[in-house]
């Protein structure tokens, strides 16, 4: 049973939006957080997260903030934090409304482990919890003295978890594949000496001990070990698309998308307003494409509508007052123009959505600039227009007014933008061929058409 992610409150630090970073966390940790959140809620508390996944650059910034005294809590350099593997989170202790010792019991029940030894809310890092999974075996391996090239067992465990996502760890060399092979061998019970990113004789002997060919290519060895890990830890071990790219192979059957082993289902609040659309989902033509923020579902429904379940990041393009207001990617124009072919949509007044370039991405699916959409979040339905085209590696963006219509105001009283998105769990349904140039005579006529045409088309789908 999965608690919806939207029930978990989040806030942003280190220049990133937490819903955005949820996409980089391992499914087993996200599920553990879901379950822990449900238990905390049942005890009349709240689970509010302040940090989850960190990229290399985010971790470097956190470390520099510590070194320069900007923050007092210790942050290791890149390669030493479980945050970088999508296996750690920080929480707001004050929101728990329970003793930290009581939360420790909840966390432990769901496979979440504190980083400190005793539940003292005043202790440094009292807010930090890991989902170690099988990487805890690497910790134990180093704690037993079987490897000594890392200063602490925790650092070795973090390196194992990070490299196992296909991301390089500086201490293990530029190529992540030897490190992820060694990490897998240790977790499968082999003794190889140091986890150092080198395919030495001890590593080769451990590969042979698993009855694998030690002379095969590193990519083939890595793929074989991944299968062993998936079998050994079926409820925990997942790999990511970036991992598949790192080993030079097509995404295996146990990739992050396939490994959750359950069909897509929208959140309960959204499902309640989708009506007959729910019955269309099993027959959707799934669009299997990688994005920086991978959607929960992307496909073409049998009626040719585009269905997207994703986060919704902020787009401020076309906002006349947008320069220097907090969005460094602001542009004065939008792809869609009014009838004069000059005036752009105002992101602060028009609810518009963004679809990725190239133009053929939408056109090949019968969708064109100006088409209308229904957007649903937490059971609330609003309407939008396809008004801007964005980078080909991004999907799930919307204007200031679209987020506002979903109850997510991003314009501060001082006139600057809170540059963060919303979600996950935002469903966008685009109706191909629905836009009409006559609707774009002015902002007023477009706004009226977005509401009337969007509502008409959505009502026809659900009823």
**pLDDT recorded at residue 117:** 92
CA separation for the pair 275, 278 (Å, rounded): 6
The strand order across the sheet containing 9-10 reads 9-10, 48-51, 88-91, 128-130, 113-114
**pLDDT recorded at residue 96:** 86
DSSP letter, residue 335: S
**pLDDT recorded at residue 240:** 46
Residue in 174, 171, 145, 175 with CA at minimum distance from that of residue 158:
171
| 274 in Cβ contact with 266 (< 8 Å) | yes
CA 368 to chain centre: 28
Which residues on adjacent β-strands are paired with residue 297? 309
Task: From residue 249, give the alpha-carbon distance in Å to each of 180, 185, 203, 217, 253.
Answer: 14, 20, 22, 12, 11
DSSP letter, residue 158: H
DSSP letter, residue 250: P
CA separation for the pair 279, 148 (Å, rounded): 56
**pLDDT recorded at residue 101:** 94
**pLDDT recorded at residue 443:** 97
CA separation for the pair 178, 383 (Å, rounded): 49
Q: Are strands 397-399 and 306-315 parallel, antiparallel or unpaired?
A: parallel
Q: How many helices (H) and strands (E) does the chain have?
A: 15, 13
Which residues on adjacent β-strands are paired with residue 9? 48
With 0.85 as the threshold, say if the pTM is over it. Answer: no
Main-chain phi, psi angles of 412, to 5 degrees:
-80, 160
**Tokens 């999907």 found at:** 395
Task: From residue 351, give the alpha-carbon distance in Å to each of 229, 291, 314, 343.
Answer: 46, 23, 11, 16
CA separation for the pair 382, 400 (Å, rounded): 13
CA 369 to chain centre: 27
Main-chain phi, psi angles of 15, to 5 degrees:
70, 20
State in Å, rounded, how far the first CA of the chain is from the last one. 28
**pLDDT recorded at residue 238:** 56
Helix H or strand E encompassing 16: none
pLDDT in tens, the chain (463 residues): 233 444 555 554 444 444 555 666 787 888 888 888 888 888 888 888 878 888 888 888 878 887 888 877 778 888 999 999 989 998 888 888 899 999 999 999 999 999 999 999 989 899 999 999 999 999 999 999 999 999 999 999 999 999 988 888 999 998 889 999 999 999 999 999 999 999 999 999 999 999 999 888 888 898 889 888 888 887 776 554 334 444 444 333 323 333 333 468 888 889 999 999 999 999 999 998 888 778 889 999 999 999 999 989 999 999 999 999 999 899 999 999 999 999 999 999 999 999 999 999 999 999 999 999 999 999 999 999 999 999 998 899 999 999 999 999 999 999 999 888 887 789 999 999 999 999 999 999 999 999 999 999 999 999 9
Task: From residue 267, give the alpha-carbon distance in Å to each of 278, 379, 404.
Answer: 11, 9, 21
Three-state DSSP class for residue 172: helix
CA separation for the pair 310, 23 (Å, rounded): 10
**Tokens 């590593």 found at:** 203
């Amino acid at each position: 049973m999965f608690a919806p992610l939207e029930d978990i409150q989040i806030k942003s630090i280190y220049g990133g939006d937490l819903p955005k970073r949820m996409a980089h966390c391992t499914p087993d940790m996200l599920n553990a957080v879901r379950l822990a959140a449900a238990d905390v809620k049942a005890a009349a508390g709240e689970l509010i997260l302040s940090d989850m996944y960190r990229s290399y650059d985010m971790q470097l910034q956190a470390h520099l903030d510590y070194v320069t005294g900007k923050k007092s809590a210790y942050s290791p350099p890149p390669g030493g934090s479980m945050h970088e593997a999508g296996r750690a989170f920080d929480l707001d202790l004050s929101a728990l409304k329970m003793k930290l010792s009581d939360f420790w019991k909840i966390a432990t029940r769901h496979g979440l482990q504190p980083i400190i030894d005793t539940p003292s809310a005043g202790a440094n890092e009292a807010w930090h919890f890991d989902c170690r999974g099988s990487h805890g075996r690497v910790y134990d391996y180093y704690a037993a003295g079987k490897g000594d090239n890392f200063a602490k067992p925790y650092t070795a465990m973090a390196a194992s978890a990070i490299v196992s996502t296909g991301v390089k760890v500086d201490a293990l060399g530029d190529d992540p594949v030897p490190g992820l092979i060694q990490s897998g061998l240790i977790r499968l019970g082999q003794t190889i000496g140091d986890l150092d990113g080198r395919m030495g004789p001890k590593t080769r002997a451990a590969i042979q001990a698993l009855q694998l060919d030690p002379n095969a290519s590193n990519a083939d060895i890595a793929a074989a070990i991944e299968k062993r890990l998936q079998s050994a830890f079926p409820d925990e071990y997942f790999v990511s698309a970036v991992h598949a790219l790192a080993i030079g192979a097509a995404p295996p059957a146990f990739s992050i998308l396939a490994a959750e082993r359950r069909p897509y289902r929208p959140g309960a609040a959204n499902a309640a307003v989708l009506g007959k659309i729910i019955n269309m989902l099993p027959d959707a033509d799934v669009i299997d494409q990688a994005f920086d923020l991978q959607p929960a579902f992307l496909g073409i429904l049998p009626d040719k509508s585009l269905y997207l379940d994703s986060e919704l990041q902020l787009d401020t393009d076309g906002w006349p007052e947008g320069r220097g207001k907090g969005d460094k990617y602001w542009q004065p124009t939008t792809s869609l123009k009014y009838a004069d072919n000059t005036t752009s949509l105002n992101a602060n007044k028009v609810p518009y959505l963004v679809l990725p370039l190239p133009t053929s991405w939408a056109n090949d699916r019968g969708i064109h600039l100006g088409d209308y959409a229904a957007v649903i979040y937490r059971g609330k339905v609003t309407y939008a227009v396809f008004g801007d085209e964005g980078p080909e590696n991004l999907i799930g963006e919307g204007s200031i007014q679209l987020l506002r219509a979903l109850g997510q105001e991003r314009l501060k009283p001082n006139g600057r933008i809170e540059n963060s998105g919303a979600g996950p769990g935002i469903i966008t349904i685009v109706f191909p061929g629905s836009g009409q140039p006559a609707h774009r005579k002015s902002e007023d006529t477009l706004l009226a058409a977005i509401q009337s045409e969007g509502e008409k088309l959505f009502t026809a789908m659900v009823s």
